[in-house]
Structure 1
């Protein structure tokens, strides 16, 4: 690919797992606000839960999650007491009115919990909320945590999807990012969850890591494909040491440049597609029969803080320190610091410290950005149908962007505005043209490829 094109479109921009993005959340959205939003959810609302466990027993240096390392279980046990209190408080405000369609346990490392605590947490959620019979239960798994009791506990809480981070199987790369995890470990986990009836396995891998080469990316991809996961996420490493100090353990000089990152991504993508997977959005792949691939073909794919999803719920309820939720009114985020989070919820309150109340203009631009990120296109007629005359301003911006495009990355095609094949690797940069908040404030982002 033309190096000038890469340089032009590789500038740092958001990943658009929300709009507006989290750096624009503000303290005007308080626990009182969140409580009123929860109480206003209509009876029968479909909802999903995100449960955050912000602890790991090792700290991977590439990680950009809200987490902390601990070798002791005492802090985790205290945190679970607080989490149970928050679950009770939220459920008292809206639990009986919601129909829970999905639960995602994320981290950190949810599988750092003991088998007994995993089961107790799963039971607590089902006691306080009404679950749909076919609710999806997904869990992020660290293979280094796993033993037979934990596998049995995950089966007991009804896990339907296991998500494992592979990153890279090359030992040199693993040592450099402090994430040593053999292929054999990973395969053992995949085999164990499938043996317990889990119908979907998701594997994540990264490009753009130190010491990665086209050969190492290809070798990792081939090993990953041998496990035949139902879904694959191919993420570019987000190097943000100004936000995550532990990333300073990774030498900037060892990181590939934007052109090399794009080559690595293309090499992995080619192998994945040749193996019979379908591309989903900009960085996910799924077997043709998987619900994610079905949603992508149907135009019903969604995007949230967990990435691409089939989740069509009216509300996403975030539970735990730093968790982010989305309700029809807007976004809310809990206190990230675990000690202060625990103090607030154990006192019987909510832990909300910031958020964003959505305007119609925000919803409109958010819809355009989500469709670009999911479908690489949006419909002019559907935009007008959804948002009325206010949509004409965004349509005019799209017309100007298409008319001024000299790189062949964005065009108008009949009723639709589309990101071309040439433009797909740069979809984040194209979506950023419709972000009314970009450039406001001091937020910094990772590179766009």
Structure 2
């Protein structure tokens, strides 16, 4: 899949990633803990009824310069234990407000570096979740793992806790690239890690990579992807590095070390896409690849792929997201709520029996319609106005009015072969997938006069 230089120059503009709608930089500090309690209670009467749990572990033994996450540099296990105790209290506080008949479909651990936590503390948290909640059949229980801190004992004990998806944050196999972004390589050969994980029945392996870092180029990234293919992960993600040094100061170091140009990033994406699709992987959504028999591939083919802050998921595992830990963002049907980013503030408030909401956002009916349209385009590269109207229990006219639909905003995409429009449907072409953030932004009324800062599309 080749993309012209002209399109790169035209569409390499700042646009949202749309992991939520509205994006997180629309969240307001005026959203209070008291409002959070109300929307938690209201969520019991909203769909989806499934519960998706997010556990945020902010701790990292060292900070990767590319990181855009909320992290806390420490190896202090006493500090970790204090944090875990508060997190367990928060879980109990939220559970009291949720209906007992609701079931968990997804548990996701992110960070930071979740497996920097001693395994006994992970067991404490998961045993509490198992005690308090019931599950749907075959829930997804996943952890983002740093391979530099993963060994057989840790894997075995995670599997005993019913973890069935291990996302290995490899980022790159090239040690020069890793050294220059301050990231340690895997402590064990990746072949051994994969074998250890797959020795447990029903487990799946994901690999995560980033392209657009210093000392990466098309040839080096091709070697990384070829090696990944030889290890045969179930899913693979190639994230485009998001350079936001005005948010994450450590990223300024990468400016000095030389970031690849947009054309070089595109070449890396293209070679990764080609190698993976030629070797049996389906391209899913913005940056994922999966085996044809994987549930994500099946959902994408059926146009039922979904997305939340945890990433792509199926309708079966989709749930309203209840986040625990500092900076965690709960993603409910009617609202978003983000916990305090500072771990000390988080612990202090939870220990006082208070929620730590730092900012949030309540959606109005029009914004919920816009969210659905953008989710469909971002996930399934397609929207039918009639199907959307049935799901939203409204009419195509109301949907188009809500997004201020105007084909003149989309005409350029159509002329360039990135998008096709019929009476009832929009379809993003294969080449258009690389610019889907731009297409989604053209369907977003908030972006018509946007003044907020976003990372570039490429």
Distance 1:358 1:396 in 2: 17
> What is the Cα deviation at residue 249 of structure 1?
2.0
Partner SS, residue 247 of structure 2: coil
Summarize deviations over 1:35-92 as a string: whole Å, max 9, x none: 1122233379311100000101121111111112112222211110110110110111
CA contact under 8 A between 1:394 and 1:434: conserved in structure 2?
no
Matched, 1:424 2:428: no
CA contact under 8 A between 1:314 and 1:328: conserved in structure 2?
no
Summarize deviations over 1:262-306 as a string: whole Å, max 9, x none: 111000110000110111112111001111111111111011112
For residue 382 of structure 1, what is the aligned residue in structure 2?
A: 387
For residue 392 of structure 1, what is the aligned residue in structure 2?
A: 400
User: Which of 346, 355, 375 lines up with 2:351 in the alignment?
Assistant: 346
TM-score (norm 2): 0.93
Summarize deviations over 1:363-420 as a string: whole Å, max 9, x none: 1111111111111121122234433242232576253334454323222135211222
Distance 1:398 1:191 in 2: 52
User: Which of 74, 78, 93 lines up with 2:78 in the alignment?
Assistant: 74
User: Which of 192, 203, 207 lines up with 1:203 in the alignment?
Assistant: 207
Matched, 1:90 2:94: yes
TM-score (norm 1): 0.95
CA contact under 8 A between 1:303 and 1:370: conserved in structure 2?
yes
User: Which of 405, 429, 446 lines up with 2:455 in the alignment?
Assistant: 446
Partner SS, residue 417 of structure 1: strand
Distance 2:233 2:361 in 1: 36
CA contact under 8 A between 1:104 and 1:138: conserved in structure 2?
yes
Partner SS, residue 222 of structure 2: helix
Summarize deviations over 1:87-131 as a string: whole Å, max 9, x none: 110111116242111100111111111121111111011122222
Matched, 1:408 2:417: yes
- Specify every segment of 5 or more residues in structure 2 that has no aligned partner in the other structure, as ranges: none
Distance 1:253 1:58 in 2: 19
Matched, 1:219 2:223: yes
For residue 360 of structure 2, what is the aligned residue in structure 1?
A: 355
User: Which of 375, 378, 382 lines up with 1:373 in the alignment?
Assistant: 378
CA contact under 8 A between 1:159 and 1:198: conserved in structure 2?
no
Go from structure 1 to structure 2 and tell me whether the alpha carbon gap of 1:186 and 1:439 turns closer, same or farther (over 3 Å shift): farther
For residue 56 of structure 2, what is the aligned residue in structure 1?
A: 52
For residue 102 of structure 1, what is the aligned residue in structure 2?
A: 106
Distance 1:360 1:408 in 2: 33
Partner SS, residue 338 of structure 2: strand
Distance 1:19 1:445 in 2: 14
CA contact under 8 A between 1:173 and 1:212: conserved in structure 2?
yes
Summarize deviations over 1:115-173 as a string: whole Å, max 9, x none: 21111111011122222342211011111112333122201210010001111111211
User: Which of 16, 25, 45 lines up with 1:23 in the alignment?
Assistant: 25
Count of matched residue positions in the alignment of Structure 1 and Structure 2: 449
Matched, 1:236 2:244: no
Alpha-carbon RMSD across the aligned residues, in angstroms, is 2.0
Partner SS, residue 251 of structure 1: helix
Partner SS, residue 100 of structure 2: helix
Distance 1:77 1:390 in 2: 51
CA contact under 8 A between 2:65 and 2:254: conserved in structure 1?
yes
Partner SS, residue 120 of structure 2: helix
For residue 322 of structure 2, what is the aligned residue in structure 1?
A: 317
Q: Which moved more, 1:391-400 or 1:112-121?
A: 391-400
- Specify every segment of 5 or more residues in structure 1 that has no aligned partner in the other structure, as ranges: none
